[in-house]
Structure 1
């Protein structure tokens, strides 16, 4: 894996921030875009733009082919049985809300259980809170171990015969831990529940096979995997999707309309009302081409190397606390420096050209579990290097000195 050649394909990386070469360590929030993705979106608008599924003219046909071709690429990328089981959405948040609003509200009732974990992003917490309030179902949480991970023993004790839905992140956006999705799916199915997976932080970094995992729903975003913002996808088991009602109504999603009644198109189109995110889908397809050209195994190996290196280097900084497990973590290190607010850390690092994330990372319950108000997070992707991690470590030491850490 030639990191120099990969970095050359990302125009945004070749600039200075505050007089320093940019070190971008915020890919867990949103990854940067290679030239091939930028070109694909531009070429679509310059050469092929038209609405899809409607016009019989050449531009309409080319736009439709590009849009549906992107759906085929998504299905192949996550090993879905068919492209019809891929619903394009605005991202993971929209996809999870679709499952909660269309599927969960129809099947849950008073006395049923929805099982999640305290590490969930708000996008995989608040929709289930609302389902519980609307249906009378009970929201339950698989407890966390001291390092923030979950155990199958605790999961088995939490998931019961009353559980209708288990919804879990594949990879925590704060702790970096990888949850045992395949085993959780087996537990859920044994109890008659369906499993929903937030794949926002897993899909960009590792091979995903929804059939091997045996999940019922799987959601992810394009902007975290070198694609454009505003595009994502939901995979659903065919038998479930076919029995779900749309939650947005209008053009594109209808089959036949009378004055007082209407019928819906087959999946996935019943869930894609209105003009879809065509350019975003084209860009997502190009991002998948880019990632597949590098190889997901190579990406996984590179990121594991970076993450271990960062964990080891940052662990040697006095007064710095790292959250989450040391092993079996993906692409990020979340930390705090004693007596220095993470927003101050991020601000000082920015003066040195280093971009990290600081805040609650849309995980306020997890912050309270960690007994902190916020954390700093450095996250890595295919274009990052160990030299950049060394720059981060040096800058963090200087940040401590700037705030007088350790001075009596």
Structure 2
């Protein structure tokens, strides 16, 4: 089971009464929920909206009575998605960069978790470990979840600032029958780095719950004191030549367990920020409130990842390009797909109450391009 399925099943357990028992119903994905661990962020709607819009977010304009949209100041006819990176809108950069890391860690990947939070992730193959640094304009505290019953909590000092430290010790042989919710050794440091900027540093072994990631307190101090006020571009996965009016990019991330994938959420530019301390999230797909969700991957991956039945669809043409519409999906949503480069499908999930016609949604879908980092 990949991380998309894990994250979606977690989300669906909270909404089981509202979700019909259909196909794979993997209602979404992403935060790069790198494993089914309880430490993940949240995708919601908005806070950096004003900054993002000020940075030049394009909008759609209605063009004539046939109800089709074109990107403002762009030709009306979209081109089929290709593997060639092009210019366009992408997620805003993280406001911080990582400095020195413990030996063996590679360059970080950067994801947008919500309109007000980012995560910088670095991994080490041996001994295996993952370090994640989340930065947010909303206050961060210890993540919620069952892991806390195994944790020791204390207060430490980082660069003259008080920080909360949570440590889950390494227990060989766990999880066992008496400790089924134990997810392995885990370290979490949370503090306010500057006004309106909170940081949470997490260290664990992403792939092996029973191994010690061998991260020390000195390592955490080095990571925290090395953070720099220098923008880190989000991994360039998808480009949007334009966005439907009133929406902004609310999340953008890859699936680290499945190659050639990407996901994004388009959320309302003005909405209340959601909590950032839930036990799973960032790029936690909340298909109950995000107007548009985008998922790229192999055909079955993209379709079922948005809760649709791959065996139930109709086809239609838009500007000479085939688009499929799938039924029997997540309640209150419908899904369109088209090809996205070689052996890839791009799927667009639209909330029924969002004012976007099928043709306009298809044009939105056809206008999305792969970014320079999409593989």
- Rg comparison, structure with higher value: 1
TM-score, with structure 1 as normaliser:
0.26
Q: Which has the higher contact order (CA 8 A, sep 6+)?
A: 2
The TM-score, its normalising length taken from structure 2, stands at 0.28
